Amino acid sequence: MSEAQIECRDLWKIYGKRSDEAMKAVLTEGLSKDEVRDRFGCVLGVRNASFSVSKGEIFCIMGLSGSGKSTLVRHVNRLIEPTSGEIHVAGRRVDTMAEDALRQLRAETIGMVFQHMALWPHRTLGENVGFGLEVRGVALPERRKSAEAALAAMELSGWIDHYPDQLSGGMQQRVGLARALAADPEILLMDEPFSALDPLIRRQLQDQFLNLSTHMDKTTLFITHDLDEAIRMGDHIAIMNDGEIVQIGTPEEIVTNPVDDYVADFVKGISRVSLVRAETIMEPMNGRAHTPKHVRTDAELGEIIDNFMDDQSPVTVVDPEKAPVGLITIKAALTALRG
Amino acid sequence: MDLWNIFDTEWIPVGTWVESALQWVVVNFRFIFQAIKVPFDLVLTALEDGLTQAPDLLVLAIIILIAWQAGGRKLGLIAAACMTAIGLMGAWEESMTTLSIVLTCVVFCSLIGIPLGVIAAKRDRFWMVLQPLLDLMQTIPSFVYLVPIVMLFSIGNVSGVIVTFIYALPPVVRLTNLGIRQVRPDMVEAARAFGASNRQTLYKVELPLAMPTIMAGVNQTIMMALSMVVVSSMISVTGLGQMVLRGIGRLDMGLATVGGLGIVFLAIVIDRVSQSFGTSSRARNHQKWYETGPVGAVRTLVRK
Ligand SMILES: Nc1ncnc2c1ncn2[C@@H]1O[C@H](COP(=O)(O)OP(=O)(O)OP(=O)(O)O)[C@@H](O)[C@H]1O
Ligand SMILES: [Mg+2]
């Protein structure tokens, strides 16, 4: 894929002194995470992960606590050195990059938001947001101007000379977002940015971010442990378990087609009403007559069910040219709803 | 030989060895130690000349202003009371000498101790080597190294500063190390994620966040330096310590008390002032230091 903005190939990370030994043993004997820990005292952080994120999309990574999500994203700007594997960002290879080039990449191309905000308490919001520019040697007036703009985009104008501890949690996380956006990077790494917030503010920030990202065409790697959030935000979702990516797909694919019990467990409680589309549940026409009721191929399950309210005969699915392509019976619709 | 009392004989002559080793160092390397004295001498002389030759009341006023600036009006008043008491007791000159020795010591302890602490925080192996050395410096009774210090550096105030320096250095190193290690890792990670180099991370994030702990170390160092005042007067260091020592020697309770009280008052002032330097602006409602105290007052006056 040539337009991949972030691409990782066969990425491994084993924490600990004896990581090379452990790596060999894992490759030859296929040890599990616990076996690696007991035999080598090393922690298997990421196991053979490959994924690619194309330009402009939001790619969610989700999994239980300790499944290696944070470890995985930190490889993209190489805050963590991989044990083996390749990382490509914006067409450049990161894992072999020299220190200077790497710093420039971090400052100009990649913005990052942290789970616990990680705002520096001794710096004003302006100084926090302008930090990336400051370390690149940009002059103060210019720094301040972009900090003002970034804060304004997060509806925080007027707070520039205040300190982080004078703000509420939601405001602080918006500052974290403003800091990541200040240098106008192409890529955003977000490590559970909204997890520490209460549901109402979380929803509001999700909307604000979605709105922003559709306007600004950023490529985002978004970590969350909340599937609802992943489905709301993500164009694609990768599910991690014990350091391994077990499934990558669109929200619909993940929900309708979980590869194993671990993923199935995740998606159990998820409402399918707005996820499942007509084309995935329709049956072939097979010469059956088409009924007066019809929906488009991309109609959501909710809309299909509405069609069964008054009369329970099958619904015809039509393509954009209005030609019938399939049928949906009430049984198929209800099965899809139940999952 | 009496086998039952073999320890009557000195089998391992440690004393003789140390003595000849020291002699050898003194004969061959004295110039090195004399060179080490030079920077201590320069700073000490400048401070001492400044403090003793300036008019007493001017110095008093400056001390009060500094205390007020550092810790507010209340600390200004405490400083005024303590320093005036010292002056009225007739120990002003001596206290200025002691103050300059302590300040010189703090300058060098900070100049050397803070970088050492930073390196120790970054390199575990260096810290492992440094730690026992610091323990040694703090636990060897200071009397023990008075003799070699005198032989290498001769007697006088500068040697006093060096003895005090050795004794008072460990806390600032320890607490700098601790302070840097205690900085929240995600603060450092965030700095790196936005492209900061190691040096920028240190100066812009780690040192400022560790500053309260480092200042606690400096404060400890000052207190240790003050506690050496009497001991170091045994190698003819002048000042309040000598008043105490002479008082003891002559069984002159009055003199010893004046010296002792002088040390206590001086310690109170220095301790409080250095502690207030350590409180971050976060703890003071985010007011910058120049927005408070006398400087703040002058600034608002000038603006009007
Ligand atoms: N610096 C480290 N040294 C050793 N092991 C580590 C280190 N950081 C993480 N690990 C281990 O790597 C594994 C993955 O951790 P990681 O922080 O990536 O999980 P996570 O999916 O982000 O979890 P959470 O949702 O709790 O943030 C864990 O088993 C953890 O113990
Ligand atoms: Mg994490």
Domain containing residue A331: CATH number:
3.10.580.10
Q: A307 Cβ partners below 8 Å, 6+ apart?
A: A293, A295, A315
Q: Please check whether residue B288 touches A, CB under 8 A.
A: no
Residue A253 lies in a domain: yes
- β-pair type (A324-328, A315-318): antiparallel
**AA letter at A222:** F
Q: A62 Cβ partners below 8 Å, 6+ apart?
A: A69, A223, A224, A225, A226, A227, A230, A237, A238, A239, A240, A266
Range in A3-7, A51-55, B258-262 the model is least confident about: A3-7
Which of the 8 DSSP states describes residue B5?
G
Residue A139 lies in a domain: no
Which residues sit with Cβ closer than 5 angstroms to ligand 2, an ion? A 70
**Residue A194 CA to chain centroid, in angstroms?**
12
Q: A277 Cβ partners below 8 Å, 6+ apart?
A: A252, A297, A298, A299, A300, A301
* pLDDT for residue B1: 67
Distance CA B46, CA B202 (A): 32
Is the pLDDT confidence value at A299 over 90? no
- Indicate yes or no: CB of A122 within 8 angstroms of CB of B209: yes
- With tokens 């990516």, the residue in question is A245
Domain region containing A318: 278-338
What CATH number has the domain bearing residue B170? 1.10.3720.10
- Indicate yes or no: CB of B194 within 8 angstroms of CB of A179: yes
| One domain, residues A198 and A103 | yes
Number of domains observed in the structure of chain B:
1
Residue B191 lies in a domain: yes
What CATH number has the domain bearing residue A60? 3.40.50.300
Q: A36 Cβ partners below 8 Å, 6+ apart?
A: A14, A22, A25, A26, A42, A43, A44
> Which residue numbers of A have CB closer than 8 Å to B's CBs?
77, 79, 103-108, 110, 112, 114, 116, 118-122, 131-132, 134-136, 162-163, 165-166, 179, 183, 189
Q: Taking a C-beta distance cutoff of 8 angstroms, is the pair A120, A128 a contact? A: yes
| One domain, residues A282 and A263 | no
By CB neighbour count within 10 A (0-12 exposed, 13-18 middle, 19+ buried), where does B170 fall?
A: buried
**Count of Cβ atoms closer than 10 Å to residue A317 Cβ:** 25
Give the mean pLDDT of B225-243.
91
* pLDDT for residue B281: 62
| One domain, residues A287 and A247 | no
Residue A170 lies in a domain: no
Residue A101 lies in a domain: yes
| One domain, residues A206 and A262 | yes
- DSSP string for residues in A120-172: -TTS-HHHHHTHHHHHTT--HHHHHHHHHHHHHHTT-TT-TTS-GGGS-HHHH
Q: Whose CA is nearest to atom 4 of ligand 1?
A: A15
Residue A224 lies in a domain: yes
Residue A164 lies in a domain: no
* pLDDT for residue A276: 82
- Indicate yes or no: CB of A121 within 8 angstroms of CB of B197: no
What percent of chain B has pLDDT above 90? 66
User: Is residue A10 helix, strand or coil?
Assistant: strand
| One domain, residues A202 and A262 | yes
User: Is residue A309 helix, strand or coil?
Assistant: coil
Select from A14, A15, A80, A190 the residue to mutate for testing ligand 1; criterion: most ligand atoms less than 8 Å from CB: A15
Tens-digit pLDDT profile for residues A108-166: 999 999 988 899 999 999 999 999 999 999 999 999 999 999 999 888 989 999 999 99
Ligand nearest to the CA of A72: 1
Is the pLDDT confidence value at B122 over 50? yes
Tens-digit pLDDT profile for residues B57-88: 999 999 999 999 888 889 999 999 999 999 99
* pLDDT for residue B273: 92
- With tokens 């350590």, the residue in question is B278
Helix (H) or strand (E) holding A189: strand A187-191
| One domain, residues A319 and A225 | no
Is the pLDDT confidence value at B175 over 90? yes
- With tokens 């329709």, the residue in question is A282
Residues 12-41 of B with CB under 8 A from A: none
For residue B50, what pLDDT band results from cuts at 50, 70 and 90? very high
Ligand nearest to the CA of A240: 1
The b-or-e profile of B202-224 (16+ CB within 10 A means b, else e) is bebbbbbbbbbbbbbbbbbbbbb
Domain region containing B208: 28-279+288-303
Question: With helix as H, strand as E and coil as C, how does A245-302 read?
Answer: EEEEECHHHHHHCCCCHHHHHHHCCCCCCCCCEHHHHCECCCCCCCCCCEEECCCEHH
Residue B192 lies in a domain: yes
Residue A247 lies in a domain: yes
Enter the tokens of residue A185.
Answer: 């990077």
Sign of the Cα pseudo-torsion (A231, A234, A238, A242, in order)? negative
Number of domains observed in the structure of chain A:
2
Average pLDDT, chain A: 89
* pLDDT for residue B164: 92
Q: Nearest residue of B to residue A124 by CA position?
A: B286
Residue B252 lies in a domain: yes
List, in sequence order, every residue forming a beta bridge with A245; answer none if it has no partner. A240
The b-or-e profile of A113-147 (16+ CB within 10 A means b, else e) is bbbbbbbbebbbbbbbbbbbbbbbebeeeebbebb
* pLDDT for residue A1: 43
Give the mean pLDDT of B204-219.
94
Is the pLDDT confidence value at B148 over 90? no
- List the single best residue of B186, B187, B189, B194 to mutate versus A (max A Cβ within 10 A): B194
| One domain, residues A223 and A332 | no
| One domain, residues A193 and A221 | yes
Alpha helical stretches, state H, A7-94: 19-29, 33-40, 69-76
**AA letter at A299:** A
Residue A132 lies in a domain: no
| One domain, residues A202 and A330 | no
For residue B131, what pLDDT band results from cuts at 50, 70 and 90? very high
By CB neighbour count within 10 A (0-12 exposed, 13-18 middle, 19+ buried), where does A239 fall?
A: buried
**AA letter at B82:** C
ipTM of the complex: 0.83
Q: A29 Cβ partners below 8 Å, 6+ apart?
A: none
Is the pLDDT confidence value at B187 over 90? yes
Of A206, A241, A267, the position where a domain reaches its end is A267
Sign of the Cα pseudo-torsion (B118, B121, B126, B127, in order)? positive
**AA letter at A272:** R
Is the pLDDT confidence value at B279 over 80? no
Which of A219, A264, A220, A218 minimizes the C-alpha distance to A239? A264
Q: Taking a C-beta distance cutoff of 8 angstroms, is the pair B112, B141 a contact? A: no
Query: Rounded to two decimals, what is the model's pTM?
Result: 0.86
Distance CA B117, CA B174 (A): 6
Distance CA B286, CA B65 (A): 21
By CB neighbour count within 10 A (0-12 exposed, 13-18 middle, 19+ buried), where does A156 fall?
A: buried
* pLDDT for residue A2: 47
Distance CA B102, CA B109 (A): 10
* pLDDT for residue A151: 93
Residue B203 lies in a domain: yes
| One domain, residues A192 and A236 | yes
Which of A328, A319, A334, A325 minimizes the C-alpha distance to A281? A328
Give the mean pLDDT of B223-237.
90
Q: Taking a C-beta distance cutoff of 8 angstroms, is the pair A187, A176 a contact? A: no
A-to-B residue pairs, Cβ atoms closer than 8 angstroms: 66
| One domain, residues A191 and A224 | yes
Of A246, A267, A288, the position where a domain reaches its end is A267
Q: Establish how many alpha carbons lie within 13 A of residue B150's alpha carbon, considering only the half-sphere containing its beta carbon.
A: 14
- List the single best residue of A122, A136, A138 to mutate versus B (max B Cβ within 10 A): A122
Helix (H) or strand (E) holding A229: helix A227-233
List, in sequence order, every residue forming a beta bridge with A43; answer none if it has no partner. A15
| One domain, residues A105 and A198 | yes
- Indicate yes or no: CB of B186 within 8 angstroms of CB of A120: no
Residue B17 lies in a domain: no
Of A231, A246, A267, the position where a domain reaches its end is A267
Q: Whose CA is nearest to atom 8 of ligand 1?
A: A71
- Indicate yes or no: CB of B195 within 8 angstroms of CB of A79: no
Q: A170 Cβ partners below 8 Å, 6+ apart?
A: A197, A201, A204, A205
